[in-house]
Amino acid sequence: MSETGKIWALHLALIAALIVAGLVLPAYHQGNLARILVLATYAVGYNLLFGYTGLLSLGHAMFFGAGMYGLGLAMQHGDVSALPAFVIGLICAAVLAAVVALLALRTIGVAFMIVTLMFAQSAFLTVLYFGEWTRGDEGFVLQQATRQIAGVDLSEPTNRYYAALILFSAALLITLKLVRARFGRVLVAIRENEERTRMLGYDCFRHKFLAVVLSGTLSGAAGAAYGLLFGYVGASFTGVQYSIFPLLWVLLGGAGTVIGPFVGALFMFYLIDYASGWTSAYMLIAGAVLVALTLFAPLGLMGELRKRWLRWLP
């Protein structure tokens, strides 16, 4: 089988396995996996910027929150139905990403990281300031009757799982197509040596701008989906911790690998889930495992797999 055939077979096999998992998993694990798929979509968006473009952002929670609040406020205060509200969430995230990109890309390195963190904190404080509408830290619940698309109740566990899977599959395949196209190759070149890429005649700013917008839009889609599928919108999702989480998931799974964000999110979620069942000091166990992985698998789980055996893994 050709390299391209292997790559597509692997990613489609993952999607097929997740389809089957929705049929055979008990309700508890099906619910967990639905949440993981949404969060993995968020990590896929982050990976496009960090893993492939080399831009470390500490402010991606603002895009996740823009999608979530774009959908949530439209449904809660505008009586907009679920599908148009989801589109509104995407537009909010894309517009915010474009504005942030125009300003933050004037900086490089650590300065870019700090600027994105400052923007994210501003977004978090904005949510708190307009508490009359957003309900601040308390957040608000989306009514079950409104969480429907084409008559399909997305609050029902099986429907919710497959809706999350459709979103994740779309994000996975779009990212795979992007990173294997010329656009993705240029992003990798920028990550490795931006000055040389510029000397070869590529417009680095335009490529980085598009990377930020695409990354922010995917993250916003995850935020909107989280609000729609799980029925809650709250300020905590725009906090700093939700900017750190996708970075951890990508580093654990393997930055610059398409499947890595899913693997990292899955591993981290169940590590904390099982550790919390053993002891109240579960974060100590999680921290020790993360340190061990950093020491012995610095490229992440899928990154090490690519380095040792599957060199064709994108």
User: What is the average pLDDT value for the chain, to the nearest integer?
Assistant: 94
Is 1 a residue whose pLDDT tops 80? no
pLDDT digits (tens, 9 = 90+) for 173-186: 999 999 999 999 99
What contacts 172, CB < 8 A, 6 or more positions away?
11, 14, 15, 44, 258, 259, 262
Whether pTM exceeds 0.85: yes
pLDDT digits (tens, 9 = 90+) for 226-263: 999 999 999 999 998 999 999 999 999 999 999 999 99
Measure the CA–CA gap between 257 and 308, rounded to whole angstroms.
14
Measure the CA–CA gap between 225 and 219, rounded to whole angstroms.
10
What contacts 82, CB < 8 A, 6 or more positions away?
71, 75, 146, 147, 148, 149, 154, 228
pLDDT digits (tens, 9 = 90+) for 25-80: 999 999 999 999 999 999 999 999 999 999 999 999 999 999 999 999 999 998 89
Q: Judge whether 31 and 217 are in contact, CB under 8 Å.
A: no
pLDDT digits (tens, 9 = 90+) for 270-296: 999 888 888 888 888 888 888 888 888
Confidence label for 311 from pLDDT (cuts 50, 70 and 90): confident
Give the dihedral sign, CA 104/228/10/267. Answer: positive
Measure the CA–CA gap between 304 and 306, rounded to whole angstroms.
5
DSSP code of residue 264: H
**Rounded to the nearest 5°, which phi and psi values hold at 258?**
-70, -40
Query: Amino acid letter at 62?
Result: M
Q: How many CA atoms lie less than 13 Å away from 301 in the CB half-sphere?
A: 18
Closest by Cα among 197, 224, 264, 294 to 64: 224
